[in-house]
Amino acid sequence: MYTYFFVLAALLYVACGFLPSRQRIVLSAGTALAWLLHGGALWADMIAPGTLRIGFAIVLSATLWVSVAAFWLENRNFSLDGLRVLVLPTAAVAVVLPVLFPGSVVPLEGKSSLFPWHIAIAILAYSTLTIAAFHAMLMAVQESRLHTPSEASKGGWLDVAIERLPALLTMERLLFRLIAFGFGLLTLTVLSGVVFSEQLFGMAFKWDHKTIFTMLSWALFGLLLAGRFWRGWRGKTALRFTLTGFATLLLAYVGSRFVLEVVLHRSLT
């Protein structure tokens, strides 16, 4: 039954993604309703007594669910309408993926009661850095329009959305706030992953593609924050680091699980 909620949430996300920005109340209410439907269906699909359903589609869907919440809250403090047209259509695609790719069921028996918290922290880390990546893409467009304004596209819906964004320096401060928070969550994910690695794989630490990509992403975001603090990195350097770190993190779990589940038809956790 929750399949219908996934589909309904996707339709609402699409509608809210492309409605005119002047309908702020409708957009806010529609996004909140879609988010509630998405979350309820995700909870029913992922969690059952004694088990947890895990897969690339479910993790991606959960990541976008939290990202939509972050956008909705952030948009109440700042005018970030340009972010809406990036986040909501992407969430519309992600919300229906668990219907097509259900993943695998992981029994919780014999695992620590803190194991689900490791999954939750990882999803929060992915979500925060996902919204940071969307933020960086929007900043790249904003910066490009400032340096090379296009008269042909002036007045278009994207131009209107870009014009309503906060100043570039404010956007940059928001970006680094998101990255710092996401880096902290990613650090907790890495540390808790070391703790639970023995339960999952029978060894203290497993160096596989998922671990390598996660550590590389962690190093990139850490280097970016260090460069910001010590060298004042900003602008295109910050955007490149953000998008590269996000792409690497996406490969760490979602990309590797996609290959295992869809290409190789394996259901290993």
pLDDT band at 228 (very low <50, low <70, confident <90, very high): confident
* pLDDT at position 103 over 80: no
What does pTM read for this prediction? 0.78
Point out the least confidently predicted range of 92-106, 111-125, 195-209, 247-261: 195-209
**Residues whose CB is less than 8 angstroms from the CB of residue 106 and which lie 6 or more positions away in sequence, other chains included:** 51, 52, 53, 54, 269
Return mean pLDDT, the chain. Answer: 79
Contact between 138 and 165 (Cβ < 8 Å): yes
Instruction: Please give the pLDDT value at position 237.
Output: 86
* pLDDT at position 152 over 50: no
Mean pLDDT across the stretch 63-78?
A: 83
Q: Are strands 47-48 and 51-54 parallel, antiparallel or unpaired?
A: antiparallel
Residue spans of the domains in the chain: they are 2-263
Residue 177: what residue type?
A: R
Q: How far apart are CA 58 and CA 64, in angstroms?
A: 10
Q: How far apart are CA 252 and CA 235, in angstroms?
A: 26
CA distances from 175 to 26, 47, 247 (A): 27, 32, 16
- Longest alpha-carbon distance in the chain: 63
pLDDT band at 117 (very low <50, low <70, confident <90, very high): confident
pLDDT tens-digit map of 157-215: 556 666 667 777 888 888 898 899 999 999 988 887 777 666 555 555 566 677 788 88
